[in-house]
Chains A and B, each alone.
Chain A
Amino acid sequence: MFEKDRNYWLYISPHVYCNLKERKALLYNTHTGERIESADDKILSLLHLLHEKKNLGAIECRGDLLEQEPYYSFVTKFCEKGMGNVVDKEKMPERPIQLMPVLNLQRDVEKLQKERDRHTGEEILHYLLELNVYLYTSCEQHCPFCNDYFRQSLCCTAKHSAQSPETLDISTLQNILLQIRYGAVGKINLLGGNILEYPCYKKLLTLLADFKDRVRIWNHYANFIDNQIVTSDFLYEVPVTFPVDKNTWKYCITLLKETKVRYHFFITRVEEYEETSVLIEEYGISNFAIHPVYTGANHPFFEEYVYTCCEDIFRAKFSFRQLFVHQKLNTRFFGSLTIFPDGNVHADTHNPALGNISTDTLLDIINKEMLRNTAWRKIRDEKPCSDCLYQYLCPSPSNYELAIGKPNLCHVIKS
């Protein structure tokens, strides 16, 4: 394939993501999803050369070197998978430089902090994408893991504070809405307790008139009994916890039949998953989500059904932007703030409050989060993930990691 006494350019295409660790390397073609992994020292050196700044993705190789193993097999596979190419230097005398994938995030917080005349708080209202507002903590249900659901996924709770019930003043909600009027908030989740019992619930309709496409009302399926105040203006998000009371469930399903609704099943074991499947099938539910819940006693369930394996990671194809995203921000948390009835605002319910809505503006709270990084920019940059080849292909860390107390919920760790 290569003539021994000729010189060639070997270049790597800019759409190829390369993660070079001390003893292994991953090459991932963001156009096709194909990958090559190598632990060969010679190949690692070759890849290091391609990534040296002075080479800008292209190096000169002699044909006799390319004919030798392990280079020959590697380069053949590399070219076959569309990750780059080898060209005869006589046909292309000039270096085929490549615009290597170096992320340039203009408003990178760390970058802005170093600039003398810039601020991290510049144009940050656009970063707020989702608001979760707990209006009321009172609820008469006795869900077994009321204190856990909302810390792992978005869910109603009556357990946020010992001083139940708490109520967020309607004027505070009004003030919050004023602050986001010109922002980019696409989802406003209103939650309880039993939100239908919120003293000012009826006033919400008028207050939220300008935001109605963005409003989601969260209420446990069992709390719709004797509460028929439903409106087609909002989307209803309905948590379902186990065991499910069939009569109450049927009532809820019938009541919400004509409204926009999504059911959220919170499961702690495989039997509940099976029961969920039956409910979905039997009642023809098309809009739903299933959320595993870590209880402290169901680790094996998580290991078997929730932990990530290699196939899970590569089931999806990643664009380069997605890989950059995983290097800079947390896709689960970024843009989301949670406000509890006491006014405390959190970027993530596991972490301390960033401020209180009665004294701090949302802008200042967003800025605090950008600087403190309690959640929005948490990425997989700590061990063992930082040693893994799939570090930035893996989804962002979630609240499950925090609940379980383990930084990686996977069976992989390729280091």
Chain B
Amino acid sequence: MGKEYISAEDIKYHLSNLKQLTFEVTDACNLNCKYCAYGEFYNDYDHRKNKKISLPAALKLIDYLVELWNSAQNVSANRNVYVGFYGGEPLLNMPFIKSIVDYIDNLHCPHRTFIYTMTTNALLLGRYMDYLANHDFNLLISLDGDEYNTSYRVNKSNESAYPLIIKNVDALKEKYPGYFMEKVNFNAVLHNRNSINEIYEFFKTRYNKIPSIGELNNMGIRPDKEDLFQRTYRNSRESLRQSENYEAIEQDMFMKSGTYQSATTFLHRYSGHVYHDYTELLFGQKEKTIPTGTCIPFGKKMFVTVNSKILPCEKIGQQYALGSVSKTSVELDFQAIADKYNAYYAKLERQCSKCRRYNSCLQCIFNLNNLNETPVCYGFMDEKRFHAYQAGQIDFLRKHPEEYYRIMEKVTVE
């Protein structure tokens, strides 16, 4: 038997203290975005069949989790559990969403507060905004900027979705201004028809919002689409640096900017002044013992696919499912999951033990190529690379000394 980095008991513990449960409500979508993670570029997802998730299976899973949340392994007097609805386009399966919300609202789970979240393309927002606002959904609307910026977001007839999205978003803002201000955010994808500057200016001017900006996922690309992918892909840091006032933009974007996220990671790991909680402060920071920066299974979230597969995250390939759920049972073998992770960790241990960035690694094991054979981490840092990384962070702080205090005083990461 190999080295045990995590145990079956650890997995049960994390499920008993789960922070986020996300359902892939349907794989159907009323858009046909060119860069969609379930679209033409990629080959690492289950074939899309316009399916809807099974409600009885989802309810079974909730019951299973509630038992754990009410068990002695729960360590919180109160904590939020984010219940997320993801797609496809989740609003295409509104009966499921309403049933889940209704079920959860009537649960006996005294140590949990449930918060509903949804990522939507907003095409059906006009029809469902009352329900979403009344149930205080955290809404993340996918929109890439102005009409041209958003032109990869097209409907099945290849027509721009922008006019309808904007009409619905404006109506939401008009009808529920308080809700819009507090609970609605935007998520933009960076590509060759927009830029960080354009995205930022659009949302700032039109909605006084700072959007999250993501790059195209470069994992699982079909070999025959590699060229097209490369032409569409834009790197966010390079895009940002092309704008004249990029420093001001970054400062305003703060933790939504890669630079600030990177500086925060650096300071959290290396300043020596960051403590997770009172016991860590009292007894000192614990040494990192697990290779890579992969989350412990269910340490952050659980993702349930439309095909009832259980994954630790929606961002990883579905071949890495850890279990499944049906209307009669939840299949999660804690020992098997621990064994699987331990075997993966063991493969990386040699590389990780020599990596100078071991303590601040963010590399998810599931985003490495050849994980089942001989994975190689391209984020590996020898002394020279680490020194350059360190110098880059220090240089940022030298140019923005007051931002050091802003990060240290304001940023909390759950």
Show the binding face of A for B, using Cβ within 8 Å: 14, 53-56, 94-95, 97, 99-107, 111-112, 115-127, 129, 178-179, 181-184, 320-321, 324-325, 328-329, 331, 334-335, 361, 363-364, 366-367
Show the binding face of B for A, using Cβ within 8 Å: 13, 17, 72-80, 111, 113, 115, 182, 267-268, 270-279, 281-282, 284, 394, 397-398, 401-402, 404-405, 408-409, 411-414
Contact (Cβ within 8 A) B404 A100: yes
B72 contact from A129, A178, A364, Cβ within 8 A: A178
User: A334 CA to B279 CA in the complex, in Å?
Assistant: 9
Contact (Cβ within 8 A) A328 B75: no
Contact (Cβ within 8 A) A363 B111: yes
B278 contact from A54, A97, A121, A328, Cβ within 8 A: A328
Q: Which residues of B contact A364 (CB under 8 A)?
A: 77
Contact (Cβ within 8 A) A123 B404: no
Contact (Cβ within 8 A) A331 B282: yes
Q: Which residues of A contact B270 (CB under 8 A)?
A: 99
Q: Which of B182, B405, B412, B413 has the most CB of A within 10 A?
A: B412
Q: Which of B73, B111, B273 has the most CB of A within 10 A?
A: B273
B412 contact from A99, A106, A127, A363, Cβ within 8 A: A106
Q: How far is the CB of B79 from chain A (nearest CB, A)?
A: 5
Contact (Cβ within 8 A) A182 B72: yes
User: A182 CA to B75 CA in the complex, in Å?
Assistant: 8
Contact (Cβ within 8 A) A328 B281: yes
Contact (Cβ within 8 A) A123 B79: yes
Contact (Cβ within 8 A) A363 B278: no
Contact (Cβ within 8 A) B277 A107: yes
Contact (Cβ within 8 A) B282 A106: no
Query: Given A55-B401, A105-B278, do A121 and B79 touch, yes or no (CB 8 Å)?
Result: yes
24 chain-A/chain-B pairs, Cβ below 8 angstroms: A56-B398, A97-B404, A102-B404, A102-B408, A104-B268, A104-B273, A105-B275, A106-B274, A107-B278, A107-B412, A118-B414, A120-B77, A121-B76, A122-B79, A122-B414, A123-B79, A123-B277, A126-B277, A324-B281, A329-B278, A334-B282, A335-B279, A363-B76, A367-B78
For the complex of A and B, 8 pairs with smallest distance between CB atoms: A121-B77, A367-B77, A121-B78, A125-B75, A56-B401, A107-B277, A102-B408, A363-B77
User: A122 CA to B282 CA in the complex, in Å?
Assistant: 17
User: A184 CA to B75 CA in the complex, in Å?
Assistant: 10
- Beyond A119-B113, A125-B75, 20 additional pairs, beta carbon < 8 A: A14-B272, A53-B404, A53-B405, A56-B404, A97-B404, A99-B273, A102-B404, A104-B275, A118-B80, A121-B76, A121-B78, A121-B111, A122-B76, A126-B75, A126-B279, A181-B72, A320-B273, A324-B281, A325-B281, A363-B74
User: A111 CA to B413 CA in the complex, in Å?
Assistant: 12
User: A105 CA to B267 CA in the complex, in Å?
Assistant: 13
User: A101 CA to B111 CA in the complex, in Å?
Assistant: 35
Contact (Cβ within 8 A) B78 A115: no
* Nearest A residue to B406, CB-CB: A53
User: A126 CA to B282 CA in the complex, in Å?
Assistant: 12
* Nearest B residue to A365, CB-CB: B77
User: A116 CA to B75 CA in the complex, in Å?
Assistant: 21
Contact (Cβ within 8 A) A125 B397: no
Contact (Cβ within 8 A) B273 A56: no
User: A55 CA to B400 CA in the complex, in Å?
Assistant: 10
Query: Given A56-B397, A119-B80, A121-B78, do A102 and B405 touch, yes or no (CB 8 Å)?
Result: yes
User: A56 CA to B414 CA in the complex, in Å?
Assistant: 27
User: A136 CA to B75 CA in the complex, in Å?
Assistant: 29
Contact (Cβ within 8 A) A54 B401: yes
Contact (Cβ within 8 A) B274 A124: no
Q: How far is the CB of B149 from chain A (nearest CB, A)?
A: 29
Q: Which residues of B contact A97 (CB under 8 A)?
A: 394, 397-398, 401, 404
- Total of A-B residue pairs, C-beta within 8 Å: 144
User: A54 CA to B275 CA in the complex, in Å?
Assistant: 24
Which applies to chain B's interface (DSSP): helix, strand, loop or mixed? mixed
User: A199 CA to B405 CA in the complex, in Å?
Assistant: 58
Contact (Cβ within 8 A) B271 A99: yes
Contact (Cβ within 8 A) A107 B75: no
Q: How far is the CB of A14 from chain B (nearest CB, A)?
A: 8
Contact (Cβ within 8 A) B408 A106: no
User: A324 CA to B285 CA in the complex, in Å?
Assistant: 13
User: A361 CA to B80 CA in the complex, in Å?
Assistant: 19
User: A121 CA to B405 CA in the complex, in Å?
Assistant: 27
Contact (Cβ within 8 A) A321 B79: no
User: A293 CA to B69 CA in the complex, in Å?
Assistant: 45
Contact (Cβ within 8 A) A104 B78: no
Q: How far is the CB of A278 from chain B (nearest CB, A)?
A: 37
User: A320 CA to B271 CA in the complex, in Å?
Assistant: 12
Contact (Cβ within 8 A) A329 B282: yes
Contact (Cβ within 8 A) A115 B412: yes
Query: Given A99-B273, A118-B412, A119-B80, do A105 and B281 touch, yes or no (CB 8 Å)?
Result: yes
Q: Which of B272, B282, B394, B398 has the most CB of A within 10 A?
A: B282
Q: Which of A97, A183, A331 has the most CB of B within 10 A?
A: A97
Q: Which residues of A contact B17 (CB under 8 A)?
A: 123
User: A118 CA to B271 CA in the complex, in Å?
Assistant: 25
Contact (Cβ within 8 A) A102 B278: no
Q: How far is the CB of B98 from chain A (nearest CB, A)?
A: 23
Q: Which residues of A contact B13 (CB under 8 A)?
A: 182
Q: Which residues of A contact B401 (CB under 8 A)?
A: 53-56, 97
Q: Which residues of A contact B408 (CB under 8 A)?
A: 102, 104
Contact (Cβ within 8 A) A125 B76: yes
User: A126 CA to B414 CA in the complex, in Å?
Assistant: 16
Q: Which of A14, A116, A123, A334 has the most CB of B within 10 A?
A: A123
User: A104 CA to B270 CA in the complex, in Å?
Assistant: 12
Q: How far is the CB of B6 from chain A (nearest CB, A)?
A: 16
Q: Which residues of B contact A121 (CB under 8 A)?
A: 76-79, 111
* Nearest A residue to B395, CB-CB: A94
Contact (Cβ within 8 A) A102 B409: yes
User: A127 CA to B278 CA in the complex, in Å?
Assistant: 7
* Nearest A residue to B264, CB-CB: A104
* Nearest A residue to B402, CB-CB: A53
Q: Which residues of B contact A115 (CB under 8 A)?
A: 412
Contact (Cβ within 8 A) A106 B273: no
Q: Which residues of B contact A116 (CB under 8 A)?
A: 182
User: A122 CA to B113 CA in the complex, in Å?
Assistant: 11
Q: Which of A111, A112, A321, A329 has the most CB of B within 10 A?
A: A321
Q: Which residues of B contact A112 (CB under 8 A)?
A: 412
Contact (Cβ within 8 A) A127 B402: no
A99 contact from B80, B281, B284, B404, Cβ within 8 A: B404
* Nearest B residue to A331, CB-CB: B282
Q: Which residues of B contact A14 (CB under 8 A)?
A: 271-273
Contact (Cβ within 8 A) B402 A106: no
Q: How far is the CB of B224 from chain A (nearest CB, A)?
A: 43
B282 contact from A53, A95, A111, A325, Cβ within 8 A: A325
User: A367 CA to B75 CA in the complex, in Å?
Assistant: 11
Contact (Cβ within 8 A) A124 B76: yes
User: A414 CA to B274 CA in the complex, in Å?
Assistant: 29
A105 contact from B79, B277, B398, B414, Cβ within 8 A: B277
Q: How far is the CB of A16 from chain B (nearest CB, A)?
A: 13
Q: Which residues of A contact B279 (CB under 8 A)?
A: 126-127, 129, 184, 335
User: A122 CA to B276 CA in the complex, in Å?
Assistant: 12
A119 contact from B76, B274, B412, Cβ within 8 A: B76
Contact (Cβ within 8 A) B76 A104: no
Q: Which residues of B contact A126 (CB under 8 A)?
A: 75, 277, 279
* Nearest A residue to B401, CB-CB: A56
Q: Which residues of A contact B75 (CB under 8 A)?
A: 123-126, 182-183, 363
